[in-house]
Amino acid sequence: MKKLTFIFLLITCTFVATAQDSSTTRKSWLIPDHVKTQFAGNIGFLSVGTGYLHGKEKLETDLYVGFLPKSIGGDHIVSISTKMTYSPWKIALNEEYTVIPFSIGPYLSYSFGSQFDTLLPNEYPKGYYWWATSLRFGAFVGGRIQMNIGEQQRIKSFDFYYELGTYDLEFLSYIQNPKTLKVSDIFSLALGVKLRLD
Amino acid sequence: MKNIAPSVVLILICSACFEYNPNQIILDDDEKNLTAKNIAQIQKKPVSNIIRFALMGDTQRFYDETKAFVKSINQYDSIDFVVHAGDISDFGLVKEFQWIHELMSEAKFPYLTVVGNHDLLANGRKVYNEIYGKLDYSFEYGNYKFIMLNTNSREYEFDGTVPDLMWLQNQLEDNPDNKKVIVISHIPPFDGDFDPDLEEAYATMLSNDPNVILSLHGHRHSFADDEYYDDGVRYFVTTTTQKAGYAIVTLTTNEAHIETVNY
């Protein structure tokens, strides 16, 4: 089984490599469609991500690695997050600019650290704590503006996006405390750049 | 380019709008070291013949109810301080501690805390350390010594280190003026989350010291009041803020009176 996996990986790598080499052939589906860099948004101080555009070019599925240095966040935390973004509308302003007024999506973020648990450790009776401290499920709405470089270019476009997001535990706190917590208490802002690749 | 200007303005006015991780620990200066600050504030006030404090707790995810508690406690004129019996937060997130602190700051009286099991989750231990201070601490006021203890044994896998009975013994011995002693912690010794191997030692330690009169707790979300081990030490458990209840502890020179309040 291990051998098979190895051979599969080897073939995959070769395939990806050849695909990258030749600009004339259609690129492999394995090569990501874009790379992203995000500031804030509860997935890191800075996160870098990559992913695919699919679903009639309205869905993006991305994987991010986020970093929060101790000097900024009070603790050094590395996290990985997977995010989906659905953007139903595109408005072309001119040849150079396109506005994508509305995006929405869910994300799941995992924080590394011995203080975070995914499964309840043995010393607790079943159901003692019902959530995983390492995993946060969240959602966001946002929008973006796209600056088109050109379909023949190595980087086809730059997108500048913002997102307003919240996550499970704070959202739950909010709905249970309508008199005390405000919507602004649970939503935070993220800013990012997307580079659409050839 | 005109689209960039508004976002730059937004960033400048809105640095607090950014959050990097739910487990980040970013605090303002007035949100740090609150235990020391509040003890100083309590001790600044001249001691009268009667000391009175409120014992409440388990505010975990009950912000509306905490607000109602503050409203209720502010009807009193002569309370020296409020003691939060632990489980300030539900998930150990800095945000929850900040929300509770903001609400508790609306009370007319300074408040002190003991750490609860929920406060030790995720980065909670570090958060508590930064916002409040040490997990075990003590202070004196009038003829009383208050010993605040971390008894959340299950969060330490019952490894025998929590509660730190050696520290407690030292605190009991370090009482040259024979002040009356009140020990306050989140989990009472007769609860399943208290290290069963340390329960008897805790109870014996308290009963062997004639100065100890009370052991106060939270965690169980209902009131309990009993001389649990029939050894002269009174064990009192306060209810959760969710159930709109707390206790008023009144201390004369030698005696304690406890009254439960529902609002």
Strands (E) located in chain B: 51-56, 81-84, 111-113, 137-141, 144-149, 180-185, 212-217, 224-226, 234-237, 245-251, 256-262
Mutant choice from A166, A173, A175 vs B, greatest count of B C-beta within 10 A? A173
B143 pLDDT more than 80: yes
Residue A76 within a domain: yes
Residue A44 within a domain: yes
Residue B8 within a domain: no
Assess contact for B151 and B216: CB atoms under 8 A: no
Range of the domain at B89: 24-262
What's the rounded Cα separation, in Å, for the pair A55 and A174? 33
Q: What is the mean pLDDT of residues B230-241?
A: 97
pLDDT tens sequence across B7-33: 666 555 555 689 999 999 999 999 999
Give the up-direction half-sphere exposure of residue A35: CA atoms within 13 A in the CB hemisphere: 9
Residue A171 within a domain: yes
Residue A24 within a domain: no
Assess contact for B85 and B123: CB atoms under 8 A: no
Residue A163 within a domain: yes
CATH of the domain at A145: 2.40.160
Residue B12 within a domain: no
The token duo for B17 is 């709008």
CATH of the domain at B210: 3.60.21.10
Q: Say what the ipTM of the complex is.
A: 0.90
A16 pLDDT more than 90: no
What pLDDT, on the 0 to 100 scale, is given for residue A12?
A: 44
Assess contact for B236 and B216: CB atoms under 8 A: yes
Assess contact for B58 and B221: CB atoms under 8 A: yes
Q: CB neighbours of A151 closer than 8 A, spacing ≥ 6? A: none
A115 contacts chain B (CB < 8 A): yes
The token duo for A92 is 């072309």
Which residue is closest to A99 within chain B, CA to CA? B3
Confidence of residue A18 (pLDDT cuts 50, 70, 90): very low
What's the rounded Cα separation, in Å, for the pair B114 and B86? 5
Mind telling me how many Å the CA of B23 is from chain A's nearest CA?
8
Residue B62 within a domain: yes
Instruction: Count how many domains chain B has.
Output: 1
B122 contacts chain A (CB < 8 A): yes
Which residue is closest to A71 within chain B, CA to CA? B26
Sheet holding B144-149, edge to edge: B137-141, B144-149, B180-185, B212-217, B234-237, B224-226
What's the rounded Cα separation, in Å, for the pair B240 and A9? 56
What's the rounded Cα separation, in Å, for the pair A54 and A105? 14
Q: Which residues of A touch B21 (CB under 8 A)?
A: 42-45, 66, 68, 73, 77, 79, 111
What's the rounded Cα separation, in Å, for the pair B7 and A162? 9
CA angle B62, B65, B67 (to 5 degrees): 110
Q: CB neighbours of A188 closer than 8 A, spacing ≥ 6? A: A40, A41, A42, A164, A165, A166, B17, B18, B19
Instruction: Count how many domains chain A has.
Output: 1
Q: What share of chain A is helix, strand, coil (3-state, %, to 5)?
A: 20, 45, 35
Residue A106 within a domain: yes
Which residue is closest to B25 within chain A, CA to CA? A74
Which residue is closest to B66 within chain A, CA to CA? A180
Which residue in A168, A165, A149 sits closest to A39, CA to CA?
A165
Residue A81 within a domain: yes
How many beta carbons lie within 10 A of that of residue A48, not counting itself? 14
The token duo for B48 is 């009268």
Mutant choice from A77, A140, A171, A181 vs B, greatest count of B C-beta within 10 A? A77
Range of the domain at A108: 32-197
pLDDT tens sequence across B54-109: 999 999 999 999 999 999 999 999 999 999 999 999 999 999 999 999 999 999 99
Residue A16 within a domain: no
Confidence of residue A27 (pLDDT cuts 50, 70, 90): confident
Assess contact for A94 and A85: CB atoms under 8 A: no
Q: What is the mean pLDDT of residues B189-212?
A: 98
